[in-house]
């Protein structure tokens, strides 16, 4: 029987330990030798024997060692011996393993050693509609050949997976393969959804994996949709849409914010608010508009006309809506075709709500008129542009000149920025001849959603007393369609592999859009006994938001640990250090998952 010294020397030199053709369970362990201990033996065990197990051929060729079993007795030690439910794995009996050691199974065996299995980096994922998350899949131990794993999805209407098949082999079995799960924004108000992703071996050259149990990952999808209506342009009481008397006509677009139930419809009746004295100068066309489930996302338009009146003042008013029965037009909703969710939205079936605010601009007094070519004015952020005609409302007086200065909010630009009007008649620059200006959306890197922008005009210089310098300001309301999405890119989100000897892995973070202030994320490990992180936080600013920042995850030595042990790296916004107002204070951050490999 070999001594500890002999075992140690053979492990260090790589020499095989001679084993009889037929193994006989020993009655006692090897005798000790000067200067060597069991810890010396453990420190020299090869990874292939300690973690990955030994195949039958390796046993017969001597690539095993004598060691201490879990009950304290000595016997044939093969590291991760792949015994299933207490029975010898096929191929072991008759190959120098005459009797199964019961101490390798059940309570005395690490769970990772009991059976062939698929390993998921997490059992659950929670994702908000329109976003995605990742997880990793690996095998419990090295297979003898290729193992193919299929992924089936119980609810493809709520979530999708990036791949449907994974392939593992004796070289990549413990390297987690990353799967991206995307929650679908279905535009329905359908509450929280679920999907089960079932991972099942579909083909295997390893007989143990051929019968491995399926592993299921539970996905929860959080709904983001809410009942309401999308109105274009975005107006408020303090920033209404200008309507110039003339008569001129402007349009307001509207549609339901979400899908309607199949076969259902929504009907709105529109009216002008009662808080203005009409004097016959505001009219509304298209009093009723209906949307069916097939056209829920079609923008339909209300036309607002401003007629000349006798007074000399601007007036602000609103367009109000009330939901009426799809079939009868009554404010009492009885038809089965009324969408049930929007039926509840009507709150009592006849309550009105404001959808837009407008301001009637009088042309009987001095002023600057901006008449857009089309309404509503909606510009795509990626270079969308439109035009408007600018002129004076009243004659400034003979032989006078009025210079109008044009400016914009940061989201649009205008050209030209200065216009000159004459008080005379018969010329190209007469006060009542419109001059064309072009305004263009500015493509920035900030995620701010669809947003209002303003083209403003005022008198810059004038020789007319009725058009004083710096006076008579007005504006044109535009809406810019944003092309950025606020979010955080983290890669990889799973599959980090460290070792108990301190080997590390790296993942990166960057923002998907520019913040308008500082954004700081704290980075921490769920188990500092398995993995540590450096640095403990990352910080982004408007100048470095697109530059990836790296986080190093290092394995932690642990003499008592064995196998591949999972950890989670948590990311969290630090509110006290985050000054951004574009949404990163409430950013949804993914967990990063990995494992530390302990070979002894």
454 within 8 A of 475, measured Cβ to Cβ: yes
Going 154 to 159 to 160 to 161, the CA torsion angle's sign is negative
Is the peptide bond between 376 and the residue preceding it cis, with omega within 30 degrees of 0?
yes
Residue-level pLDDT, tens digit, the chain, 600 residues? 455 666 666 655 555 444 443 333 344 445 554 456 555 655 555 443 333 334 444 433 333 444 434 344 444 444 333 333 333 343 333 333 333 333 333 333 333 344 688 989 889 999 999 888 888 898 888 888 999 999 999 999 999 999 999 999 988 888 888 898 999 999 999 999 999 999 999 999 998 899 999 999 999 999 999 888 999 998 888 889 988 887 678 889 999 999 999 999 999 988 877 544 444 556 666 678 999 999 999 999 988 887 776 666 677 788 888 888 888 888 778 888 888 888 877 755 457 788 888 888 888 889 999 999 999 999 999 889 999 999 999 999 888 999 999 999 999 999 999 999 998 777 767 898 999 999 999 988 888 888 899 999 999 999 999 999 998 999 999 999 988 888 899 999 888 989 988 889 999 999 999 999 999 999 999 999 999 999 999 999 999 999 999 999 999 998 777 777 888 999 999 999 999 998 898 888 888 988 898 875
> With respect to CATH, is domain 486-600 assigned 1.10.287.130?
no
Q: Classify burial at 458, counting beta carbons within 10 Å of its beta carbon; exposed 0-12, middle 13-18, buried 19 or more.
A: middle
d(CA 96, CA 94): 6
| Tally of CB atoms within 10 A around 52 | 19
**366-484: what CATH class?**
mainly beta
Give the number of C-alpha atoms closer than 13 A to the C-alpha of residue 272, restricted to the C-beta side: 21
Q: DSSP states of 12-69 as a string?
A: HHTPPPP--SS----SSPPPP-TT--HHHHHHT--HHHHTS---HHHHHTT--EEEE-
What is each CA distance from 463 to 186, 447, 460, 474, 501, in whole angstroms? 60, 44, 11, 20, 84
Going 362 to 368 to 372 to 373, the CA torsion angle's sign is positive
Helices (H), 145-260: 207-210
Beta bridge partners of 436: 389
Please enumerate in sequence order all residues whose Cβ is within 8 A of that of 372, keeping only pairs 6 or more positions apart, or say none: 250, 386, 387, 388, 476
437 within 8 A of 502, measured Cβ to Cβ: no
What is each CA distance from 107 to 86, 122, 599, in whole angstroms? 11, 24, 21
Q: Name the strand (E) or helix (H) holding 345.
A: helix 340-345
What is each CA distance from 412 to 440, 441, 454, 471, 580, in whole angstroms? 5, 4, 8, 23, 22
Pairing of β 74-77 and β 124-128: unpaired
* pLDDT for position 153: 97
* pLDDT for position 379: 92
* pLDDT for position 311: 64
> Of 142, 149, 148, 161, which is closest to residue 199 (Cα–Cα)?
149
* pLDDT for position 23: 37
Can you give the C-alpha Rg of the chain in angstroms? 37
Q: Do domains 366-484 and 486-600 have the same CATH topology?
A: yes
84 phi/psi in degrees, rounded to 5? -110, 120
CA trace torsion 270, 275, 276, 277 (10° rounding): 110
Q: 187-205 burial, b if ≥16 CB within 10 A, otherwise e?
A: bbbbeebebebebebeebe
Please enumerate in sequence order all residues whose Cβ is within 8 A of that of 588, keeping only pairs 6 or more positions apart, or say none: 128, 131, 487
359 within 8 A of 272, measured Cβ to Cβ: no
Q: Is the pTM of this model over 0.75?
A: no
407 phi/psi in degrees, rounded to 5? -145, 165
595 within 8 A of 566, measured Cβ to Cβ: yes
Please enumerate in sequence order all residues whose Cβ is within 8 A of that of 135, keeping only pairs 6 or more positions apart, or say none: 120, 121, 122, 125, 178, 179, 181, 217, 493, 494, 593
What is each CA distance from 314 to 243, 246, 400, 465, in whole angstroms? 10, 13, 26, 21
d(CA 341, CA 337): 12
d(CA 325, CA 329): 5
Segments making up each domain of the chain, as ranges? 4-113, 366-484, 486-600
Beta bridge partners of 166: 149
Is the peptide bond between 230 and the residue preceding it cis, with omega within 30 degrees of 0?
no
Please enumerate in sequence order all residues whose Cβ is within 8 A of that of 94, keeping only pairs 6 or more positions apart, or say none: none
């Amino acid at each position: 029987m070999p001594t500890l010294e002999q075992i140690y020397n053979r492990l260090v030199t790589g020499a095989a330990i001679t084993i009889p053709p037929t193994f006989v369970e020993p009655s006692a362990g090897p005798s000790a030798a000067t200067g060597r201990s069991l810890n010396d033996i453990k420190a020299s065990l090869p990874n292939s024997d300690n973690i990955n197990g030994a195949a039958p051929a390796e046993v017969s060729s001597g690539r095993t060692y004598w060691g201490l079993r879990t009950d304290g007795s000595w016997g044939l030690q093969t590291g991760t011996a792949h015994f299933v439910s207490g029975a010898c794995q096929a191929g072991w009996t008759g190959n120098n393993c005459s009797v199964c050691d019961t101490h390798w199974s059940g309570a005395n065996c690490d769970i990772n050693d009991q059976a062939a299995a698929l390993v998921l980096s997490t059992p659950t994922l929670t994702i908000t509609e329109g976003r995605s998350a990742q997880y990793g899949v690996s095998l419990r131990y090295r297979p003898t050949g290729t193992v193919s794993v299929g992924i089936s999805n119980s609810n493809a209407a709520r979530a999708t997976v990036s791949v449907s098949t994974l392939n593992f082999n004796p070289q990549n079995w413990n390297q987690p393969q990353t799967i991206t799960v995307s929650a679908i924004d279905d535009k329905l108000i359908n509450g929280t959804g679920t999907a089960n992703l079932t991972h099942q071996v579909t083909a295997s050259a390893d007989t143990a994996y051929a019968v491995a149990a399926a592993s299921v990952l539970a996905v929860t999808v959080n709904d983001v949709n809410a009942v309401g209506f999308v109105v274009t342009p975005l107006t408020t009481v303090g920033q209404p849409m200008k309507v110039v008397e003339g008569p001129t006509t402007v349009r307001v677009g509207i549609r339901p914010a979400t899908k309607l139930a199949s076969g259902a419809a929504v009907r709105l009746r529109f009216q002008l608010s009662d808080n203005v004295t009409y004097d016959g100068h505001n009219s509304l066309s298209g009093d009723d508009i209906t949307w069916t489930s097939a056209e829920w996302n079609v923008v339909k338009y209300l036309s607002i006309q401003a007629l000349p009146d006798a007074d000399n003042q601007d007036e602000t008013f609103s367009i109000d809506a009330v939901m009426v029965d799809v079939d009868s037009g009554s404010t009492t909703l009885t038809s089965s075709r009324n969408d049930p969710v929007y039926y509840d939205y009507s709150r009592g079936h006849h309550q009105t709500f404001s959808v837009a605010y407008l301001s009637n601009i009088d042309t009987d007094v001095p002023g600057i008129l901006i008449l857009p070519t089309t309404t509503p004015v909606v510009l795509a952020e990626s270079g969308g542009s439109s035009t408007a005609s600018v002129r004076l409302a009243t004659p400034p007086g003979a032989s006078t000149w009025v210079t109008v200065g044009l400016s914009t909010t940061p989201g649009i630009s205008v050209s030209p920025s200065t216009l000159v009007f004459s008080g005379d008649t018969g010329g190209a620059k007469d006060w009542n001849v419109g001059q064309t200006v072009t305004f263009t959306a500015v493509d920035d890197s900030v995620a701010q959603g669809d947003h209002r922008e303003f083209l403003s005009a005022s008198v810059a210089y004038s020789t007319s007393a009725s058009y004083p310098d710096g006076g008579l300001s007005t504006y044109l309301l535009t809406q810019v369609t944003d092309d950025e999405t606020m979010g955080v890119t983290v890669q990889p989100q799973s599959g980090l592999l460290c070792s108990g000897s301190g080997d590390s892995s790296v993942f990166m973070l960057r923002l998907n859009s520019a913040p308008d202030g500082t954004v700081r994320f704290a980075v921490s490990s769920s188990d500092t006994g398995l993995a540590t992180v450096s640095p403990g936080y990352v910080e982004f600013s408007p100048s470095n938001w697109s530059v990836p920042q790296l986080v190093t995850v290092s394995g932690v030595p642990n003499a008592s640990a064995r196998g591949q042990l999972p950890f989670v790296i948590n990311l969290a916004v630090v509110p006290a250090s985050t000054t951004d107002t574009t949404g990163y204070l409430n950013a949804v951050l993914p967990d990063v998952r990995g494992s530390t490999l302990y070979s002894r």
